[in-house]
Amino acid sequence: MDKRLIWLAVGAFATSTVAFVFAGLLPLISASAGISVSDAGHLVTAYSLAYAIGTPILSAIAGAADRRRVIALALVCFMAGNGLAAASDSFFTLLCAQVIMGMSAGLFAATAQATAVALASPEHRTRAVATVLGGTTFAVALGAPLAALVGNLAGWRSAYLVVACLALICLTVLWTQLPRGLPGLKLSLSERIAALGRPGILPSLGVTLLYLTGAFMIIAYMAPLALAAGLPVAVLPGMLLAFGIGAVAGNYASGVLADRLGPSRMIVMALLASASICVAMSAIIELLPPELAGPLLVGIMLPWGFIGWTFPPAQASRLVGHAPELANLTLPLNVSAMYFGIAAGSFIGGRLLEIAPASELGLAAAAFPLAALVVIALTRKSRRATIPVG
């Protein structure tokens, strides 16, 4: 395997860790800033919106520019955002830092995947992209819990500094190893979003958005859930680790299961299972005493991570199936839909915490994968209605 792909994956690991570490840092940040955890959740919303909106815009602006320079610029801005977060003296400054990190992380992700394709031979391009995306998976499994642990031991600012140092190492290696003059694909923003008009694309993106909305109503606010179950905040790195281990296993199993069952069946199963686990979380906290609720909530993280991470690969496969020739456009749009969902989930979850106990998060979150199932059913019904008879 080309070693440069590994370093692109490490860059994806560093830039993606920030997106998933919030669950472990929000209680620390809220205590430091003197605000509620739900208000601190605006950081997740700001980062995710910047990622979702900034990625297609910045990718269009970067156009055919040298990918080596674009990757370097993205990593430099990402490090600057982490440095600003670590040095911030107000919540507003920290919010601005999230916007910088979100936009630069999105630009890096899009450019790194395109660079992986350019570096690989035609028969190995899928494997090359999978290698880079593997960095994101391991960010969930290892990056988030480790950064949360660092934050709990040495303060939340240190977590940002550690991520920035890792990004610096990646920048140094990639700047020296990537070839000069590797051009990007010049597409306007209108060309990038034109794929939305193809049959099946927009409903599929809606399914992605709804699924991630429900998931991040819980992921972003694991701390209030843990407290409601009688657990200390210090247990959050362990919860994130259990979720991450399940995510790695689910990501691997998804490809095998989708090949056997088909991506559509895999997605339906993931949506149903996710809604069931969300309801189970609320039931555990509401109905059981703390000595049982706490351990069960930690234990359910692993199967929830497994189920949660069977969805993205199957959904990507289903999306590509709608228009294989537009995969280079539809897959980035799917990533934007994911981060719009993360932003929506963190915002809705935060507002719910202002008016209801944390135990209600699971019940509310379950509504979104169920809504995604309705979208799938209506899309299928619409397709049948448009198929001519005879």
96 falls in which pLDDT band (50, 70, 90)? very high
Residues 201 and 347 in one domain: yes
Residues 110 and 29 in one domain: yes
* Chosen domain end from 170, 186, 202: 186
Q: How far apart are CA 41 and CA 27, in angstroms?
A: 10
Residues 155 and 276 in one domain: no
Q: Is 164 in contact with 82 (CB distance < 8 Å)?
A: yes
Minimum mean pLDDT range among 30-39, 110-119, 325-334: 325-334
The Cα diameter of the chain in Å comes to 70
Residues 201 and 249 in one domain: yes
Q: What is the pLDDT of residue 231?
A: 92
Residues 176 and 196 in one domain: no
Residues 345 and 214 in one domain: yes
Considering Cα of 358, then 22, then 153, then 301, what sign does the dihedral take? positive
What is the residue-averaged pLDDT of the chain? Answer: 86
Q: What is the pLDDT of residue 356?
A: 93
Q: What is the pLDDT of residue 389?
A: 42
Minimum mean pLDDT range among 151-155, 240-244, 264-268, 378-382: 378-382
Q: Which residue has the higher pLDDT, 199 or 39?
A: 39
Minimum mean pLDDT range among 48-52, 258-262, 286-290: 258-262
Q: How far apart are CA 177 and CA 284, in angstroms?
A: 51
Q: Is 27 in contact with 151 (CB distance < 8 Å)?
A: no
Q: Which domain holds residue 311?
A: 192-390
Scanning 120-155, the segments in alpha helix (DSSP H) are: 125-138, 144-154
The pLDDT of residue 387 is above 70? no
246 in helix, strand or coil?
helix
Residues 297 and 363 in one domain: yes
Q: What is the CATH number of the domain that holds 304?
A: 1.20.1250.20
Q: Which residue has the higher pLDDT, 184 or 360?
A: 360
Residues 178 and 214 in one domain: no
Q: How far apart are CA 340 and CA 51, in angstroms?
A: 8
The residue-averaged pLDDT of 262-275 equals: 90
The pLDDT of residue 388 is above 50? no
Total domains, the chain: 2
* Chosen domain end from 134, 162, 186: 186
- Please report, rounded to a whole number, the percentage of residues in the chain having pLDDT higher than 70: 92
Q: What six digits make up the tokens of 213?
A: 């909305």
Residue 104 CB-half CA count within 13 A: 24
Residues 31 and 65 in one domain: yes
298 falls in which pLDDT band (50, 70, 90)? very high
* Chosen domain end from 186, 217, 236: 186
Q: Which residue has the higher pLDDT, 73 or 334?
A: 73
Q: Which residues contact 179 (CB under 8 A, 6 or more apart)?
A: 68
Chain centroid offset of residue 199 CA: 25
The pLDDT of residue 42 is above 80? yes
Residues 154 and 281 in one domain: no
Q: How far apart are CA 175 and CA 293, in angstroms?
A: 49
Q: What is the pLDDT of residue 334?
A: 83
Residues 238 and 355 in one domain: yes
Distances (CA, A) of 327 to 133, 182, 192, 194, 323: 15, 21, 11, 12, 7
Q: Which residue has the higher pLDDT, 233 or 48?
A: 48
